[in-house]
Structure 1
């Protein structure tokens, strides 16, 4: 990544609270300009702490945070070119929409004409033109969120931080706001850093995702990379539904699991090395037992609207989940077919750094993993 593209850098950043709890552990990453990033992980993993460190609400215990190449560890929040949209929006109930959005501009003592122009432009950006005189209590949840975003972007930040801003909305409105936020980011052309524990939100909206667990970044990459090539069991299990079964490498491009040997597209591991196998439910096709690579007895079946969620067990006792439009019967024996590309091989406990080194070494000897 070129230095000109990089706007934020974390270099071995640790955050430790006064009670001794360490919530971030030597975290390093870079953020590029003009992209939509998501910090994804369960509650307590450190994602909101990263947001607060960027915003200037916290200082790191160790390491450096850089903005445009300059260390900002102790730069006050009001001097940083970032703005935050909080989970509860933090709007002023005694001010109308216009005055909520204008609040930061008034603190800067801009002239009234400039304030009016900037506020109206920000409201137009978030599709709230004509709402200037509305009271906050008169707005829906989605409209309040738009006001909070307008208040943030009116100050022309280089980075917009969003701390789970969709969590209070119902499912339909959350989906609508995902599209709106993504489109807003594209129109503004600034960097968005979005915090969520919802993997569907992360996959739908992001240019790049950081998957977090217990104060560390487990894996980073595009939504496709994260979903198709999870680095370990935690990522595979956290990002969507996964079938994860034990296996071992037979040789490059051949792996053993469920008592059989299958072709795959992964290499770079030792023969007989224990591994974990990931196959997504939608990559399994139901066929007859005779034609299937695996034979499974159906245990449960649930209708999920667009597909059936079928769970069964193979002869080795492995559980398999299948997403299919085909309806089967509980107790029925079915075959499961899949392509070699559907098999993802993971080394036990491998970190992203170790995976990258293995991939690089494998490519250097003339193989394409």
Structure 2
């Protein structure tokens, strides 16, 4: 194991009453990075977090922390702390006592507790709030208190279980920046759970996309967005136009009744494929200048762009994001570069279904 690897899952499976919620999962987490576990409800992301925290044990497989097997190490003996979705603060204690709680349990000297609490509150920009009651604080401030309580114990890994979900959109965006900056300043490993794709793309060094208890793809936000490995990832991460096609030869693909140059290779001649083109990679042109000709069926203004729903002559639906406006019923052309085309094997595209799964476990 590399010295940079702090957590490793080796063929880990978790079952509840015979129901598999995590299925033979293996991955590595490096120290000092921001990781996100992303997926719909029931995909297994919270189960991974609970396994790392020590709240549950794996049914099969091994979990390593700094190279040591921690399958049976209790939660209070692990160098991790968790920030929960509801923050789990003590309403009858003020900010200072909430943050100091874990240090008091360790029977630390009061002078040391004061110093550590003050340092933690500085990190989360809550200096001067020591005596504030929890009920008097906003949602964003409460989240910072929860983070301060977690980092005051100097964990090697901080686990965050959808801590932004209860915030309004503006505050949620602000807290994304704050969390990312906090992780950089602390230099510790963050593992963040969310079902929000934009949140994951904005904050992460690495993303694990989960579905039905398996990791479908892992990589940087750019890798995940630009090169989805199957239909589920392409559909779940942002919006996509996905069409059936045929890989005629290296760098040449056919879909929507035409052949187009692309940048993909390594397929069999005339192999059936799935083609992905992102809505923002489609440029509106005149009908004659477009690589494809479509009719505008509907149009919505989204603030920074127009969202058009169009159909080509073969009945394929095309979603287009553009700063240009079109008229409903108008025939327009769509232009795209070869780099905008992403080709997937049909076996990859059909590897998983698009179902959302059951409630999170």
TM-score by length of 2: 0.96
Structure 1 match to 2:15 = 16
Query: Per the alignment, in what secondary structure is the counterpart of residue 292 of structure 1?
Result: coil
CA distance in 1, matches of 2:76, 2:264: 49
Q: 2:231–2:348: 8 Å Cα contact kept in structure 1?
A: no
1:127 to 100, 125, 128: 125
Q: Deviations over 1:304-341 (max 9, x none)?
A: 00000001011111110110011100000000000000
Query: Per the alignment, in what secondary structure is the counterpart of residue 350 of structure 1?
Result: helix
Runs of 5+ in structure 2 lacking a partner? 352-361
Structure 1 match to 2:140 = 142
- The within-5 A match list for 1:285-324 is 285-324=283-322
1:253 partnered with 2:260: no
Structure 2 match to 1:283 = 281
CA distance in 1, matches of 2:177, 2:348: 34
CA distance in 1, matches of 2:70, 2:227: 34
Structure 2 match to 1:6 = 5
Structure 2 match to 1:111 = 109
Structure 1 match to 2:97 = 99
Query: Per the alignment, in what secondary structure is the counterpart of residue 265 of structure 1?
Result: coil
CA distance in 2, matches of 1:189, 1:109: 27
CA distance in 1, matches of 2:272, 2:120: 55
Query: Per the alignment, in what secondary structure is the counterpart of residue 348 of structure 2?
Result: coil
CA distance in 1, matches of 2:122, 2:346: 51
Q: Deviations over 1:153-192 (max 9, x none)?
A: 0000000000000000000000000000000000000000
- The within-5 A match list for 1:220-369 is 220-350=218-348
Structure 1 match to 2:77 = 79
Structure 1 match to 2:173 = 175
Query: Per the alignment, in what secondary structure is the counterpart of residue 349 of structure 1?
Result: helix
CA distance in 2, matches of 1:5, 1:299: 52
CA distance in 1, matches of 2:62, 2:98: 34
CA distance in 2, matches of 1:155, 1:167: 25
Q: Quick one: higher RCO (CA 8 Å, sep 6+), 1 or 2?
A: 2
| 1:21 Cα deviation after fit | 1.1
Query: Per the alignment, in what secondary structure is the counterpart of residue 218 of structure 2?
Result: strand
TM-score by length of 1: 0.94
Q: Deviations over 1:241-275 (max 9, x none)?
A: 10101101010000000000000000111111111
- The within-5 A match list for 1:185-204 is 185-204=183-202
Q: Deviations over 1:48-82 (max 9, x none)?
A: 00000000000000000000000000000000000
- After superposing on structure 2, the runs of 4+ consecutive aligned residues of structure 1 that deviate more than 6 Å are none
After superposition, the CA RMSD in angstroms is 0.9
